[in-house]
Structure formats: structure tokens, C-alpha cells
Amino acid sequence: MSLIDLQEPASPVPSRRLGLARSRLRGLVDVRRGGILLPFVALFIALSATSGPFLTKANLLNIVDQQASTLIPAAAATLVLVSGGIDLSIGAVYGLAGVTAAHLALVTNPVIAWVAGVGVGLLVGLVNGFVATVARINALIATLATSYVVSGISSLATGGNIITDFNRHSFNDLAGTSLFTVRTSTWVTLVVVVVLAFLLARSTLGRYMYAAGGNAEAARLAGVRVHKVQIIAFALSGTAAALGGVIDTSRVLSAQSSSGADLAFTVLAGVVVGGTSILGGVGSVWRSVVGVLFIALIGNGFDLLGLDPLYEQISLGVLLILAVGLDAWTRLRRA
Amino acid sequence: MHRVVPPAPHVELRGISKQFGGVRALRSVSLQIRAGTVHALVGENGAGKSTLGKVISGVLAPDSGEMQLSGTPVAFRSPRHALEHGVATIAQELAIVPELTAAENVFLGAEPRRAGYVRRRDLSERYHALCEHVGFAVPAHQLAGRLRTADQQKLEILRAVARDAALIIMDEPSAALTREETLHLHEAICSLRARGCTVVLVSHFLREVLELADAITVLRDGAVVRTSLASEESESTLIEAMLGRSLDGTFPPKSPPGADAPVRLAVEWLSAPGVRDATFAVRAGEIVGLAGLVGAGRSELVHAIVGARRAHAGSVAIDGRRATRRSPRRMLREGVVMIPESRKEQGLLLERSVAENTALSTLASLSRLGLVRAGRERKVVTEVLAKVAVRPARPEAPAGALSGGNQQKLLFARALLCQPAVLIADEPTRGVDVGARRSIYDLVVELAGQGLGVLLVSSDVEEVLGLSHRVLVMRGGEIVRELDGMVATEHEVLEAAFTARGVS
Ligand SMILES: Nc1ncnc2c1ncn2[C@@H]1O[C@H](COP(=O)(O)OP(=O)(O)OP(=O)(O)O)[C@@H](O)[C@H]1O
Ligand SMILES: [Mg+2]
């Protein structure tokens, strides 16, 4: 629950007890606020009831660990969406970071390889940020363009081959080591998610992100450096995408330029299903986490129950429409 | 003159209540609106006027109570449904499609068409006929998004008339209009009434209300205080009914600064898109009014001063320090704060909380190591909100849930937190009720008394004259005249605003 509490940065205690009870009630009724949590819990309970192996520590930890490379970029992508942008280059950056790290791991110390992989993402993120703000090119187009360029660079670097690091065992440490019976990749995910959630909900930078995405003109006139804030969001998104790529490369000890092709869409789907608005100014990191895990649970459920995976895609599509529709509907109601 | 009393009122409300969360916006409101009359709703900010209008026009469903239209019970499901019954509304926050032309906006959804294609010729012919009929002219082919607020509003009125609405609800239609445009609006309202149309008019301008309305309903805290004939009311009886107390004078007394007061804001030969060679100074303790017609370049000048609009020549100095490479952020640091003209487009984050909106410009001082100190923020925000009397005082509520006038006060609170050396207020009392207006005036005067320089932009000439020590009149992007605020008359201001470059 602690992640959820981050949502309300400054909710003062209502003076009367009646007021408190009322506002609690409203919180429950408000679809947008509770939003994804209810379906998530319902699905969780349903799966626990219908599938024996579902509610085991191994299965649950496995789900989270497999989602590491989605959760980390999703947390950062939330910041981009909230501040009024969108990042379609996540998958391409993920690929390039993996390739870079794997390539360097062949010749140098794994730590340098990891850092360089992540650094590449930071660099691409900064470029995205500048193009989308200072150069005033629509973020959708800007990041689509960089994603082509970045994928191209990855392909050039690998010559279309798979790089394998099977004889570099220490490179596996990032994803493979266990700490208190939980894998390091899961720990890294936890730390990144908590830090980003905190940043968005409690920091001045986070407030400025909401302002930039909610009403850029008002934010600018109120003295917010809108471009700077958005560039930071893009930079974090690039970095996070790269971290996801490096973690996965470390896990499987191989990398190829084409991995991560769908990642941008998977990440965005998770974020939007969570309830963060693609129109900016509304959303939070915990929502994206629940959104991503919700989609993962659906996948896991299909596996465990032995259903045709084709239906998984269909249900994901329907879910997306519902999530975006709900966002539009609540906005309309409020206006 | 004897009015024939029609058999059933056009609209009859019985026991209408509406609650938003904990806020009781309407408490068992009962009232009758006679057909073919102008019926005014007055009351403080947050009294429930807009909510009542929205209930009548189907935007909001009441929690309880019933409504009859010409004697038949109705329950509108949507504004569209209401429109089918001849009830149209012109909202406080305008709703136009910026990418369509003026004419297209007016006939949106009811375009003259043949086989699915809009017939442009018919469209513009009908548009011109309509303009002639109501007596305003808005350029037909101009994109609506490029029009001034005043013109956008006229579009909405035209739209309602084009839909053959028999009941038009106007929520503060004159709040954003200049005097001349207001007169046009009044003519339009009178001609609507002459055609048998019923107009529900929400306004904070009591004189306007007394002049136009046949009947007036006063609301306080969501309940009806009384409904009476306009001829039986006066400004002071209305104020007393609205506030539950009387006010001593509209404006606080003036105390101009001494002759030796230092210059706080000095603007020299400032030129920017829409502004030419503006030169003037504001001294400590001085309130300088900037008057002129809409489009005279007042907002443009103000934006150029704070760097929200790039200037191509000239200089701005604060307390003698020249401010180069200006941006709103740098100017805030220099001590210049601006309250923008349009609270919805340029002021607020409607989805975010009142507290967050208030603290936006001073967040850095309310945080440590980049983290917002929630407790301190709450304390500071609560204090300043109390000072400008924002109601309801719920810092955690979204800013979009505040009534229009309270949103304006919120922006004032934000500016106050910046502790500026120079305050630039662009239309600071637009949509603010008489009582709160007076408290904003008191605040402006108090701030000037503390040594701030105040630049006040307002379309309300009376307001400019009532507060300013000196009045600058703009026309066509230039400052054409400077008047002594202590002796200037409305006539002088208007003359300067209308006539060509004058030499004073
Ligand atoms: N969507 C909403 N959600 C929550 N509260 C609301 C909402 N709309 C209005 N209110 C509250 O209902 C009350 C009445 O608001 P309303 O907008 O009707 O006032 P008003 O008389 O039109 O004021 P103003 O003169 O400032 O426009 C206010 O306290 C306002 O905060
Ligand atoms: Mg209102």
C-alpha cells in the first residue's frame, strides 16, 4: 500500500470526521483514482482460485522478474507522458543498450559494459528531449525517428548477428545473482520504481512535470522551465529503457539488434492501462506498475490455464480501448 | 407599462438541490422564470449561479427537485437534449472549436448541406443574415481560435440564436468584454427579448443587471435569498442580499506615492509583436492603470515585459537593474509577477489541486533537496488562500472544481506568495463578485502601500479609474495618452482609446 500513498502528495487531514469518511467514500467511487486496482485484485483472486501453481512464491517472483525490463521503462515512460510527451524509442534504445553492453563485455570488465549500455540510453534520451522541445518537433514523430536511427545503428554494429557472452559469466551477475532469495534484477526494478514514483509524487521536479503536461502555457507563465523538465523526463526514459536492455542481456547472455521491437508498445500499453493519460498531466508511477503487472497476469493466467494465446492479444486490445475510453470519459464528465 | 402575465412560467424549478462531494452547491432552489423576460441570477462567487444554469441546461442532473418547462415536467439528460427543447447555454468557460472558422463554429452540427457536403455559400449567407439580425459582426472566415475572447463569445451567442433557442442561459457574458462590446451585447439581449426569447443572465455587474433584467434572483450559499422585480431593487439592496452585509464604496481610498518614490519598473522603447515603442515607469507605491480597447496591445505589452513574448527592441529595468534575456522565470526572480488574463488557458492546472496550483511559482522555496515539504506547503498555502478568501477553503480539491471567481483569487494567491517588487495584474477581477472584488482592490492598495509597483490592466474603465494613480491609454499597440488617475474621467479615457494618436 505504501506506493499508493505516494499518489496524494499533500492531502491535509479534513477537519471533521464526517468529511474524512466522505472523502474516503468518494475515493472508492472515483473510477479514475481506484481505476486499475480493482480489476487487478479481482484477476489476482480469480487466478489464485482457478490455478494451483499461481499463488506460489516462485511463480509470483518469476512474473515480477520477467517484467523487470518492462517495469523499469514503464516507470520512466510515465514521467514522459505526465510531462506531456511520449517516447516510442524505448524498444530501439533497449536493443542498442543490450548490443552495446554485450559487445563491450567481450573485451572489457562487465561493470564498464553495463554502465556504457545504460549511458547510451541516457544519450539517446537527451537527444529525444532536445528534438521534441527545443527543436519543436512533435514527440511522437521525434521519437519514432530516433527509434529508426537507433535500430539502424544497432544493426550496423552487430552486422545482423547475435552477440553471445556465454563465456563471460560475471556479465550475468546483474540479473542472475540472488539476494535474500530474490534475484538482483528484481531488486534493481524495485529500487528504480520506488525512486521514480517518489520523484514524480513528492519532488519539485515531479510537480513541474504535472504542470508541464497539464498546461504548458500556464506552467511557463508561472515560471516553470517546461523544456528542461521535459528533457529530463526523456533522458530518464532513455536511461530506463537502456537499463532494461542491459538487464535482459545480462540474463540471457546474448544480444541482437532486433530484440525489443515491440517493447515500446508493451510499455505504453501497461502505462495507459494503469490509467496514466496520453494527453499529459495525469497519472502516476504506481499505476503503471499495476498496469504492467495486470497485463503480465493475463499472460500468466493464459499460460497456467492452458488457453489459446491468441485470445490473450485480443483481450489486451480490448483492455487498452477500455482504459483510454475511461480516461476520455472521466475528462468529459469533469468538463 | 403593463406586461401581460403568461399562464405558465417558461421555467419553473421546485426544490432543486445539487451536491458536489461535501459541497452543497444548491439547496432546495425554487424559482420561476417568465417567458420573454431577462431573468438575472446574482450572488457571490461560489453561490451556485453557474451550477443552477447548468442544471437548467442539462449539463448537470440535480440530486433532487423537479423542473418544468412551460408547464411540462422535464429532466434533461444532456445539453443536447435541452437544446432539442429550445434551451441553449453560453458557458462561463467558452467552448469553441479553434480550428474551424467563425461561421463554421456557429453552424457546427447544423450546417446547411447537400448530400453530406457542407455548402459554403449557404453557410456564409446564413451567417451574415444572422449577424445582421443580432447586430454583431465577427469576421466569418477567421479561425475561431485566433479570435479574441470577446468575439468567441459572440460566436456562442450566434450559435444559440441559430439553433432557435427560446431560452438562452448566459453565464457572465460580459465578464471579458470591453465597454463598447458590452453595449453591443446588451442590444443583442434586448433584441432577443423583443423576439420573445427568454434570457437567464448571470452577472457580477449589478448595474448591468439592474439595467437589463426584468426579474432578479439573489443566491447565497446555494439557496435563494429572494426573487424580485428589477424595478424594486438597487445596487445596495442587491449587495446586502448577496453578502448579508453592506459595502462602503466600491473602491478603497487612493494614496498616491510621494514625489520622491523610487522607480520600480522602468520600460523604455519596448517593441514587440503588437507593441510599439512603449515607454513608461511605475514607482514604488504607485498603481498605474493600463486602459484601452481589446486588441489595443495591453496584454501583448505585459507579456513582452515579463518575457513571455519576445521583444525586438527596448529595455526593461527593475529597481534600476536592467533585465536582459527576459523569461517569465527570470522575471519572477527579478521580482516581477504577472497574473495572466485567461485563467483557464494561461493560469491554472485544472486537474491538479488548489494547493499545487497556488504553490507552483514558489515551489523551490517550499522544498528541501528537491523534495516538496508537504507540511510547510500546506501551512503557507492555507494562509495565503485565507488572505484572498478562496472558498471553499479546500486546498486538496482540484482547481477545476472552484467557481470562476475563486479560480481568479487563486491566481492572486499564487502571485502573493512570490512577494514581488512589481505586480502586473491582467484583468484581475474578471468574474469576481462585488464583495471579493473589493477585497482584491484592498489587497492591491495594501500591496502598493508596502512599496510595490502595480501595473493594472483592465477593460473595466471604472476599475482603472477607481484604483490607478496614473492611467496609460493604449491604442493600436502604442501608449497614446497618459492621464492623471486622480482627476481623469471615463470620457477622457474612452476618447483616447477610440481616437487616433493624440497629443496630450
Ligand atoms: N464540478 C465540481 N466539483 C466540485 N465542486 C464544484 C463543482 N462545480 C462547482 N462546485 C462548487 O459548487 C459551488 C457553486 O459553484 P458555482 O460554479 O455554481 O458558483 P458561481 O455562483 O457560478 O460562482 P462564480 O461567480 O465564481 O462563477 C462552489 O462552491 C464550487 O466550488
Ligand atoms: Mg459561475
- Residue range B234-248, pLDDT digits in tens: 888 988 888 887 777
Average pLDDT of the segment spanning B460-478: 90
Is the pLDDT at B5 greater than 60, yes or no? no
Angle at alpha carbon of residue B269, lines to B264 and B270, rounded to 5°:
80
* The model's pTM: 0.79
Taking CA atoms, what residue in B is nearest to A211?
Answer: B349
Rounded to an integer, the average pLDDT of B307-314 is 89
Could you give the CA distance from residue B157 to residue A167 in angstroms, rounded to a whole number? 76
pLDDT tops 90 at residue A161: no
Half-sphere exposure (Cβ direction) of B145: Cα atoms closer than 13 Å: 5
Whole-number Å distance, alpha carbon B404 to ligand 1 midpoint, is 8
Strands B64-69, B72-74: pairing kind: antiparallel
pLDDT of residue A334: 52
Three-state DSSP class for residue B143: strand
Model confidence at A17: pLDDT above 50: no
- pLDDT at site B337: 94
Whether the per-residue pLDDT at B119 is higher than 90: the answer is: no
Q: Is B51 in the pocket of ligand 1 (CB under 6 A)?
A: yes
- Among B16-20, B164-168, B425-429, B433-437, the range scoring the smallest mean pLDDT is B433-437
- Least confident piece of the model among A102-106, A182-186, B114-118, B165-169: B114-118
Instruction: Express as a percent the part of chain A with pLDDT over 90.
Output: 41
Whether residue A60 is predicted with pLDDT greater than 80 in this model: the reply is: yes
Confidence of residue A178 (pLDDT cuts 50, 70, 90): confident
For ligand 1, the distance from its centroid to the CA atom of residue B441, given in whole angstroms, is 23
Average pLDDT value for residue range A169-187 = 77
pLDDT for the residue numbered B210 = 93
pLDDT for the residue A38:
78
Q: Residue A7: its pLDDT value, please?
A: 33
- A206: pLDDT strictly greater than 90: yes
pLDDT number for residue A23:
39
Mean pLDDT of B145-151: 76
Q: Kindly report which listed range (A138-152, B26-40, B112-126) carries the lowest average pLDDT score.
A: B112-126
Q: Tell me if B395 sits within 8 A of B358, measured CB to CB.
A: yes
B320 versus B151: the higher-pLDDT residue is: B320
Q: Identify which of B44, B50, B353 to mutate to test ligand 1's pocket (most ligand atoms within 8 A of the CB).
A: B50
CB contact under 8 A, B351 and A282: yes
Q: Which helix H or strand E contains B215, and what residues bound it?
A: strand B215-220
Lowest mean pLDDT, pick from A101-110, A158-167, A250-259, B281-290: A158-167
CB of A207 less than 8 A from some CB of B: yes
Is A214 touching B (CB cutoff 8 A)? yes
Nine-digit cell string for B412 = 492572486
Higher pLDDT residue, A241 or A178? A241
Q: What pLDDT score does A33 carry?
A: 56
Residue B144: the pLDDT is: 83
pLDDT above 70 as % of chain B: 94
Structure confidence by residue, pLDDT tens digits, A287-322: 999 999 988 888 888 887 777 778 888 888 888 788
Confidence (pLDDT) at A19:
36
pLDDT of residue B7: 56
pLDDT at A29: 38
Q: Which residues contact B66 (CB under 8 A, 6 or more apart)?
A: B13, B14, B15, B16, B73, B75
Residue partners of A141: CB distance under 8 A and separation at least 6: none
Interface residue A57 vs chain B (CB under 8 A): no
Please tell me the predicted confidence (pLDDT) of residue A331.
Answer: 61
Q: Is the confidence at residue A118, as pLDDT, over 60?
A: yes
Q: Which atom of ligand 1 is nearest the CA belonging to B204?
A: 25
Count other Cβ atoms within 10 Å, centred on residue A138. Answer: 12
Give alpha helix (H) positions in B323-365: 328-334, 354-359
Size of the A and B interface in Cβ pairs below 8 Å = 96
Could you tell me the pLDDT band of residue A167, with boundaries at 50, 70 and 90? low
CA distance A116 to chain B (A): 27
**Domains delineated in chain A:** 37-334 (1.10.3470)
Q: How close does chain B come to A16, measured CA to CA in Å?
A: 11
> Mean pLDDT, to the nearest integer, of A171-198?
84
A27-41, B42-56, B165-179, range with the lowest pLDDT: A27-41
Q: Compute the distance between CA of residue A100 and CA of residue A245 in angstroms, rounded to an integer.
A: 10
∠ Cα A80 A85 A89 (to 5°): 75
ipTM: 0.79
Domain architecture of chain B: domains with CATH: 9-243 (3.40.50.300), 249-335+422-428+451-504 (3.40.50.300)
- Quote the CA–CA distance of A177 and A193 in Å, as a whole number: 20
pLDDT of residue B187: 83
pLDDT tens digit sequence for B256-269: 888 888 999 999 99
Binned at pLDDT 50, 70 and 90, residue A9 comes out as very low
Mean pLDDT of chain B, nearest integer = 86
